[in-house]
Amino acid sequence: MTEQGANQRVIVYIDGYNLYYGQRAAFGDKYKWLDLQAFSESFLRPEMELVAVKYFTAITKSTAGSKQRQEIYLKALKAHCNKLEFYYGRFLVKSKRCRSCGVKHIGYEEKKTDVNIACEILNDTHLDRYDCCYVVSGDSDLVPPLRIVEENYPDKRTIVAHPPRRKSAELCQIADAWFAIGKQKFKNSQLPEKVVSAHSVELNRPAEWK
């Protein structure tokens, strides 16, 4: 627990693909060059201090172009954000059938992200690593860990920041507070057009994201 008079310690947990698909649904390819640390800091009040940003994602199995853009983006984040931690799930190949025509096709299902987020929230809560946490997601699968925090750690505060078009009423209800992430936070939290890595490699915003 934070000593009286000290800033509240904050950890932000970001459900990467939930954020990505909500952002894409609302803004298309705009604002994908998102500085996740600055984005997280934009949530905080003056008495808060950002301890860590935990980003949960998986390496895409989509087109070569998508994979290359993601690789550039992840490298840029690692070079630019000193409080950002990465947690990787995976995509499971699944055969899916079109409901209208019956034709089978190959699809991908992201696995482990919800479990990874839940484990980190509960572990950080148990180890007293934060006073307030923000959960950037609209996935109701994250209700159980927030309920455990609510029932067993009354000194911890949980806030849901749901991405555009990804609100879960159940998730918002279990948290101490919630808000919708507006366009301005995305617009004001972009990485520099060019990020230079520790090995002096230039990482530029993909042309498709401009």
What is the C-alpha separation between 118 and 125, in angstroms, rounded?
A: 11
Q: What pLDDT is stored for residue 103 in this prediction?
A: 62
**C-alpha distance across the termini of the chain, in Å:** 43
Give the closest residue to 106 by CA, choosing from 89, 120, 91. 91
Residue 3 lies in a domain: no
Q: What pLDDT is stored for residue 60 in this prediction?
A: 76
**What does each of the 210 residues of the chain score in pLDDT, given as a tens digit?**
665 557 999 999 999 999 999 999 999 999 999 999 999 999 999 999 999 999 999 987 767 788 999 999 999 999 999 999 999 986 555 555 656 676 654 544 666 889 999 999 999 999 999 999 999 999 999 999 999 999 999 999 999 999 999 999 999 999 999 999 999 999 999 999 999 998 899 999 999 998
Q: What pLDDT is stored for residue 105 in this prediction?
A: 47
Residue 26 lies in a domain: yes
Residue 1 lies in a domain: no
Q: What pLDDT is stored for residue 3 in this prediction?
A: 59
Indicate the DSSP class of residue 192.
Answer: P
Residue 30 lies in a domain: yes
The domain tally of the chain equals 1
Report whether 13 contacts 121 (CB < 8 A): yes
Q: Which helix (H) or strand (E) is 135 found in, with range? A: strand 132-136
Q: What pLDDT is stored for residue 198 in this prediction?
A: 86
Q: What pLDDT is stored for residue 132 in this prediction?
A: 98
Domain range enclosing 81: 8-209
Residue 22 lies in a domain: yes
The pairing of beta strand 194-196 with beta strand 202-204: antiparallel
* pTM exceeding the 0.85 threshold for the entire prediction: yes
Q: What pLDDT is stored for residue 108 in this prediction?
A: 47
CATH of the domain at 111: 3.40.50.1010
Residue 2 lies in a domain: no
Indicate the DSSP class of residue 163.
Answer: P
